[in-house]
């Protein structure tokens, strides 16, 4: 079910969004068309003086009204910080191949904190969503968060903190904590997990989906039979099955 007040922008941001959309109509459609269906590396200045790296993927057209927004949270990394545009690489590896049929704008930041559950990461994701909504015609009732492994766990965590903003969560190979499951407010979930996951076992995800289903929530578990944890690109096919499910959620 769609909620009309989900993800409402502040008056100042709403005005900025309207201005940006008018600019697209008046002068920007050519550049948008040229950039459509391709990824772009971007930087977003943050309030703490740092910059957030993120990848942006535009749908084939932006002239048919508001479009969905998909936020992609990447998997873990080695070292102190993710490599530059790690999120963009993840986006092009898995999210775009799986979810391109939704004709959504897709954004994928580099994790700025110690993990996606870090308050700094949470604030950066929120700032990024508001920035993209101010620039492009985003449907506030069709904002989705997805992520793989560490990003799957981050998906559970972020959506649990911002249920008013997100229409659906799509964690892949990432389990929630028991505290998150207990506090879940009903945001629809389409989880993807493999029986052969040798890093993040499927058991806690299966238990979480079962518990949420018992509470009457709209949740699905897409069980993959033959993939190990690090076969990330091959999760595109099971993740693609979320497209039809999302279209039902958004009706």
Residue 191 belongs to domain with CATH number: 3.40.50.1820
Q: Is 45 within a domain?
A: yes
Return mean pLDDT, the chain: 88
In a domain, 35, yes or no: yes
Q: In Å, how far from its chain's centre is CA 14?
A: 22
* pLDDT single digits (tens) 96-129: 999 999 999 999 999 999 999 999 999 999 999 9
Is 2 contained in some domain? no
CA distance 162 to 187: 10
207 inside domain: yes
For 58, the domain range is: 11-249
State mean pLDDT over 149-158: 98
Q: Does residue 250 have a pLDDT over 80?
A: yes
Residue 37, pLDDT score: 60
Per-residue pLDDT band for 219 (boundaries 50, 70, 90) equals very high
Q: CA-CA distance, 208 to 159, in Å (whole number)?
A: 15
Flag whether 245 is in a domain. Answer: yes
Q: Of the candidates 231, 247, 238, which has an alpha carbon nearest to the alpha carbon of residue 93?
A: 231
What is the residue whose two structure tokens read 């629809």?
188
The pTM for the full model equals 0.86
Q: Are 217 and 159 in contact (CB under 8 A)?
A: no
188 Cβ partners below 8 Å, 6+ apart? 167, 168, 169, 217, 218, 219, 249
Nearest to 208 by CA among 228, 229, 190: 190
Residue 240 lies in a domain: yes
The two structure tokens encoding residue 15:
């005005």
């Amino acid at each position: 079910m769609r909620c009309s007040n989900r993800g409402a922008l502040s008056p100042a941001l709403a005005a900025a969004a309207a201005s940006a959309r008018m600019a697209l109509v008046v002068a920007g459609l050519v550049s948008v068309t040229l950039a459509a269906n391709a990824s772009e590396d971007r930087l977003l200045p943050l309030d703490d003086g740092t910059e957030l790296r993120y990848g942006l993927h535009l749908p084939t057209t932006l002239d048919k009204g508001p479009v969905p927004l998909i936020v992609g949270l990447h998997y873990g990394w080695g070292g102190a910080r993710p490599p530059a545009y790690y999120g963009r690489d993840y986006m092009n590896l898995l999210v775009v191949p799986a979810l391109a049929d939704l004709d959504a704008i897709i954004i994928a930041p580099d994790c700025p904190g110690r993990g996606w559950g870090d308050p700094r990461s949470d604030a950066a994701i929120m700032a990024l969503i508001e920035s993209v909504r101010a620039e492009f015609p985003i449907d506030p009732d069709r904002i989705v968060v997805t992520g793989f492994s560490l990003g799957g766990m981050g998906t559970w965590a972020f959506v649990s903190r911002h249920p008013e903003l997100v229409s659906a969560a799509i964690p892949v190979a990432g389990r929630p904590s028991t505290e998150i499951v207990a506090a879940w407010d009903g945001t629809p979930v389409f989880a993807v997990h493999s029986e052969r996951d040798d890093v993040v076992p499927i058991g806690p995800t299966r238990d979480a989906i079962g518990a949420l289903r018992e509470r009457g929530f709209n949740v699905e578990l897409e069980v993959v039979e033959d993939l190990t944890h690090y076969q990330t690109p091959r999760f595109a096919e099971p993740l693609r099955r979320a497209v039809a499910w999302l279209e039902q959620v958004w009706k």
